[in-house]
Amino acid sequence: MKVARNNTLAAIAAVLTIFAGWTVDAGTTAQVREKSLHDVSAEAYPEHTATLPIQEVGSDAYPFRDRTVTLSSLPTPLKPGENGNTSDRTYRFLVIDTRSIPTGTLKNPPEALTDLRFFAADESGMVRRLTTDDWVEDIEKEQPLWVVVHGNRVDSGETLAFMTAFCRMCRQVGLNGVFVLWSWPSGVVVRGIARDSRLKAVRADLESSVLASWLASHLLQRPVSLVGYSFGARTVMQAAWQIATQKSVALSDLPGSDARSHDSPAFTLFLVAPAMDTATFDRTIRETLEASPSLKVFVTVNKADPALRWYRHLWSCHGPSALGWQGPFYRTQKDLVDSLEVLDVTRQVGHTHRWEAYLSAPTLRRAFQKTGESLSTP
């Protein structure tokens, strides 16, 4: 009996020892897993930098950060008479803001157009509120219009830094024109990358109808270039498609829509690190080119981009691949060789999804420079 009892106690002690080891290993594994997920999230979605202390970001790289200026904390809007003429302005770029518009309102573009907010950012980094978008009519018809749509997980302050870097790049390659930032609510809404990204994908698609309606409402008779980064590529691609095919609900309600229906809008699209389905792009660009043969599209491809590589898991385990990772279908590149140009920036950008790396890619810069030269040629 005594031997059996000793054996039983020894067995119990051994089980407890093993259990304790499992507990320690499980805790360590959980910490490693949590750290790994955090690292992957930060690497796959580096755009979300709003949690960084302002003082850690250099003012040279982010001139707006040290001023803590956001679109939601601005002075009283200027009166209509204070807007002045275009020649008197010293702004670096203009901002069209949809962050205050609920998602449900975007389904009715005419109503959403009345809720747009307009801002101007000057060379010193200060932002002021404008009451109307009359500045569009004041722009000389020869001046190209550049509309830039940012990506996911970017707060209002980061969008200003993003647009400032874009304008700096444009000056370096000799681009001229009027630069407009389309700022949409892409900050974190819910916990979890997949859930949050699915909501942003839907929002980015809805933004395209408002952008198309805004562009069509001004009867623009000048060269228009649309630049979309990450989820912003979804917005600009679908906006061009809606204008070309007159699919937007608001287009038929706008003044002069009958006259525009016979026009072929000429757009130049830059899809930078596009987070959109390749199959959707294939269908959209073909339908757009049928209605607007003068369309020119540039698409960047980065096989090392971790966020675009993860894109196929956004909707399911084996969903469609991202255009910016896979690239357009071969048949699409072959059929649309005169209208579609693929820019392979894998070696230049590397294993990152940061917009700074993409804007620094020489291949993309040359494409911008070539476009600027073509727009300036009479």
Strand partners, 147: 180, 226
Q: Considering the entire predicted model, what is its pTM?
A: 0.75
Question: Tell me, what DSSP letter sits at residue 105?
Answer: G
Q: Give the contacts of 335 (CB within 8 A, at least 6 positions apart).
A: 286
Q: Please give the pLDDT value at position 206.
A: 95
Rounded to 5 degrees, φ, ψ at 201 are: -65, -40
Measure the CA–CA gap between 303 and 327, rounded to whole angstroms: 9
Q: Are 109 and 249 in contact (CB under 8 A)?
A: yes
Rg for the chain, CA atoms, rounded: 25
Q: pLDDT tens digits, residue range 297-348?
A: 999 999 999 999 999 888 777 788 999 999 999 999 999 999 999 999 999 9
Residue of 268, 288, 271 lying closest to 370 (CA atoms): 268
Please report where in the chains the tokens 């040290």 appear, as a residue: 66
Measure the CA–CA gap between 234 and 204, rounded to whole angstroms: 6
Q: pLDDT tens digits, residue range 181-224?
A: 999 999 877 788 888 889 999 999 999 999 999 998 876 677 88
Q: Are 78 and 129 in contact (CB under 8 A)?
A: yes
Look at 37 and 106; give whichever has higher pLDDT: 106
CA distances from 180 to 7, 95, 143, 190, 243 (A): 80, 5, 13, 29, 18
Please report where in the chains the tokens 């691949």 appear, as a residue: 321
Residue of 274, 273, 268, 266 lying closest to 291 (CA atoms): 266
DSSP helix/strand/coil, 58: coil
